[in-house]
Amino acid sequence: MKDVLVLGGGFAGVWSAAGAVRLARSVGNDDLRVRLISTGDDMVIRPRLYERNPDKMRVSLDSLLGPIGVNRMNARVEFIDVTAQMVSARDHDGTPVTAIYDRLVLATGSQLNRPTFPGSAHVFDIDTVEAATALDAHLHRLPRLDQQGRYTAVVVGAGFTGVEIATELVGRLREIAGTDVRVVLVELADVPGPELGHAPRPFIVDALTELGVELRLGRTPIAATTDTVTLDDGEMIPAATVVWTVGMAASPLTAQIPGERDRFGRLLVDEYLRVTPTVYAAGDTAAAIADDGHPTIQSCQHAQPMGKYAGHNVAADLLGLPMLPFTADPYSNCLDLGAAGALMTVGWDRVVDKAGAQAKAMKQAINTQWIYPPIDSADALLAKAGHFSNSA
């Protein structure tokens, strides 16, 4: 019996497990065991955590993995012994758990770099389903507050996540308040969406203007309380809600794997997503080469196919079958702009392809259909695991 062990229950982890099972079954091999360790019972649909009702943005891992025979352990990994090919973890009640492997897929994702300024404990984020749910509960408590800035939200960071949550908060706050609301978007750079490129920027600025989102460019917070946030130029904004979206880093478990890393802490992988002879990485823990020589980005757009390739390749490696070099779809991007619609771009220059209502329909299809794996159907899940593109 050969053991494939997948760490992580997100997009990359689920598709890694499914990819390994698919290849083994396709060649009639019953001697490959696939197991997965996750810290929760659900696959969180993380790209949707800026939306209303974030607690619903999840899928039961057992409904996905059970039908294909993947054994899942709910535990938090503490140590990876690459030499002994063993993982040490603790389950939900603190009991030590160990698991050996012949091949490992590290797919434990990324995490937000939280702020450290005075009062940062009062700052919300939407990096996890727990954090997004805490923000949602806070928003619904606002009518009970009696303070200046009750319906003011300050979003820090005008990148992809910051723009999406800022534009969405306008509508979410209005539904709760039934009156005028204020959303302020703070960005250290001198333009919104600095990493999103030049072509989308006029559309983003127009959307922010249409929705009444205020911009504070070239600024950053230096302190917060339960009802104010202070910027580095001295401006104090009365606000009951502050949301932090700045800075991502790969899972700390990457530090336990020997290998080179990029500035996000991601492990550099070869064309087969391999880090060492026995360890592969996929999703936000891995820096692979996408189309046109660009590095992959930390998103489900790359995590899903990376998982499928990693799963295929660990199984192929153990079964003596040909491995497949990772090949990404041509890069595209769809940015939600709340009630102002959405923005669809193509290519690494982010040329605008669709905007407004047409792009919004595309974004809704992506969020509600395309990124969800088939549930309670082994055949459907394994068939999709064999389709390495995101296009279907």
* In a domain? residue 121: yes
Residue 348: inside a domain: no
What is the reported pLDDT for 45? 97
Question: Which residues neighbour 390 within 8 Å (Cβ) at sequence distance 6 or greater?
Answer: 301, 304, 305, 329, 370
Query: How many domains does the structure of the chain reveal?
Result: 2
Do 128 and 240 reside in the same domain of the chain? yes
Residues with Cβ within 8 Å of 59's Cβ and at least 6 positions away in sequence, in order, are 42, 43, 45, 372, 373, 375
- Is residue 224 situated within a structural domain? yes
* 120 and 232 together in one domain: yes
Do 292 and 196 share a structural domain? no
Inter-residue contact 314 to 22 (CB < 8 Å): no
Closest CA to 242 of 257, 267, 225: 225
Q: What is the mean pLDDT of each run of 10 residues along the chain (392 residues)?
A: 97 98 96 97 97 97 96 97 98 94 98 97 98 98 95 98 98 95 98 92 97 98 97 98 97 97 97 98 98 94 97 98 96 96 96 96 96 93 91 53
255 and 239 in a common domain:
no
* Whether the Cβ atoms of residue 297 and residue 364 lie closer than 8 Å to each other: no
**Is the whole-model pTM more than 0.75?**
yes
Residue with tokens 């302020």: 184
**Residues 21/382, Cβ–Cβ less than 8 Å:** yes
Among 331, 347, 382, which residue terminates a domain? 331
Residues 228 and 119 both lie in one domain: yes
Residues 303 and 97: their CA atoms lie apart, in Å, by 27
Q: How many helices (H) and strands (E) does the chain have?
A: 8, 24
Q: Is the domain of 262 the same as that of 237?
A: no
252/316 same-domain check: yes
User: Are 119 and 233 found together in one domain?
Assistant: yes
Torsion angle in degrees (nearest 10) through CA of 115, 120, 126, 132: 160
**Claim to verify: residue 276 and residue 320 sit in the same structural domain:** yes
- 204 and 326 in a single domain? The answer is no
Name which of 260, 358, 318, 306 is nearest 104 in CA terms: 318
Q: How far is CA 280 from the centre of its chain?
A: 19
Looking at the fold, whether 47 and 90 belong to one and the same domain comes out as yes
Would residue 338 count as lying in a domain? no
Residues written for the chain: 392
Do residues 6 and 37 lie in contact, with contact meaning Cβ atoms separated by under 8 Å? yes
Residues 6+ apart with CB under 8 A from 267: 106, 250, 254, 257, 259, 260, 261, 275, 281, 285, 286, 287
- Using only the alpha carbons of the chain, give its radius of gyration: 22
Q: What number of other Cβ atoms are within 10 A of residue 231's Cβ?
A: 19
- 214: domain CATH number is 3.50.50.60
Nearest to 342 by CA among 156, 126, 168, 198: 168
Determine, yes or no, domain membership for 360. no
Q: How far is CA 30 from CA 1, 19, 24, 147, 272, in A?
A: 8, 15, 7, 64, 23
pLDDT given for residue 391 in this prediction: 58
In order of 149, 152, 172, the CA distances from 145 in angstroms are 10, 12, 17
Q: Report residue 151 as tokens.
A: 């319906």
Q: Are residues 164 and 82 in the same domain?
A: no
Q: Are strands 103-106 and 279-281 parallel, antiparallel or unpaired?
A: parallel
Please identify which residue in the block is written with the tokens 């809704």: 364
End-to-end CA distance of the chain: 33
Q: pLDDT at position 138, please?
A: 98
- Out of 331, 364, 385, pick the residue that ends a domain: 331
Which of residues 210, 225, 244 is at a domain's end? 244
Instruction: Examine residue 336 and state whether it is found in any structural domain, yes or no.
Output: no
What residues form DSSP beta bridges with 36? 6, 72
Is residue 380 domain-resident? no
Q: What would the pLDDT profile of 75-115 be if each residue is shown by its tens digit?
A: 999 999 999 999 999 998 999 999 999 999 999 999 999 99
- What is the span of the domain harbouring residue 263? 2-111+248-331
Structure token digits, residue 282: 């996929």
List, as own/partner pairs, every contact residues 351-360 make where C-beta atoms lie below 8 angstroms and the sequence separation is at least 24, other chains included: 351/199, 352/199, 352/200, 352/203, 355/203, 359/334, 360/336
Tell me, yes or no, whether 155 lies in a domain.
yes
Long-range residue pairs from 388-391, CB within 8 A, at least 24 positions apart, any chain: 388/305, 388/308, 388/309, 388/324, 388/327, 389/305, 389/329, 390/301, 390/304, 390/305, 390/329, 391/329
Q: How far apart are CA 54 and CA 14, in angstroms?
A: 20
Question: Per-residue pLDDT tens for 289-298?
Answer: 999 899 999 9
**Closest listed residue to residue 84, CA positions, set 63, 65, 100:** 100
